Amino acid sequence: MEEQRIGTANGQEPTIVAFFCTWCTYTAADLAGTSRMKYPPNVRIIRVMCSGRVDPQFVVEAFAQGADGVLIGGCHPGDCHYVEGNYKTLRRIALLKRVLREMGVEDERLRLEWISASEGDKVARVINEMVGAVRRLGRLDLPAKRRGWDAEVLPHHGPTEAPAAAAASTGR
């Protein structure tokens, strides 16, 4: 019973995976930390060299593995360390949003923000807003949904978690 209660409480709390570019947004998150700004602990930050390094596959994979939201932080337009990485991010995320919308993933679950190294307060504000928005939507929890979808078929012997692994296996 006790376990059940804790499980439910945990189940309600959304997880957000954040990809922060090392030059701007990650530094800003560092600043937020050293400045003792407060934001909810729901975010798991992954540091990437550039927001342009965030392959849309990373976002889809995060959702597939149970993330309820994905936040991407990059340098302001014109400030990219790699000149135009963040413009590519802008285009890719806009297109990915259209795809995800059709797949039933709400817009608020994927957010792109430009946060410069000095904007520690913006990191805290964006995370606060996003956790609030995703809490209102409820959890996405794809692993649980997948178990639900699979309940209609005979117990199977094929790969469950990673159908892509088979498709991705080596050819000649």
Partner 1 sequence: MSNPTKPQVAFYWCASCGGCEEAVVDLADGVLAVVDAVDIIFWPVALDFKRSDVEARPDGSIAVAFVNGAVRTSEQEEMAHLLRRKAQFLIAFGACSHLGGIPGLANLWDRESVLRGSYGEAPSVVNPEGTRPQEAWQENGRLTTLPAFRDTVRTLDQVVEVDYYLPGCPPTPKLLMDAVQAILSGALPPRGSVLAPDVALCDQCRLKATKPDRLLLTSFKRPHQVLIDPETCLLSQGLLCLGPATRAGCEALCPSGNMPCTGCFGPTSRVHDVGAKLVSAVGSAFDANSPEAVEAVLSSIPDPVGTFYRYSLPASRLRRKVSQVSPAEAAQ
Report the interface residues with partner 1, using CB under 8 A: 55-57, 59-61, 63-64, 77, 84, 87-88, 90-92, 94-96, 98-99, 101-106, 140, 142, 145-146, 149, 152-154, 156-160, 163-172
Tokens of 172: 């000649």
CB 135 to partner 1: min, Å: 16
38 vs 91 by CB, closer to partner 1: 91
CB 11 to partner 1: min, Å: 16
35 vs 101 by CB, closer to partner 1: 101
The total number of residues written for the chain in this structure: 172
1 vs 166 by CB, closer to partner 1: 166
Q: 140 has which bridge partners?
A: none
Whether the CB-CB separation of 28 and 118 falls below 8 Å is answered with yes
CB 64 to partner 1: min, Å: 4
- 17 phi, psi to nearest 5 deg: -95, 125
Whether the CB-CB separation of 82 and 50 falls below 8 Å is answered with yes
DSSP structural state of residue 100: H
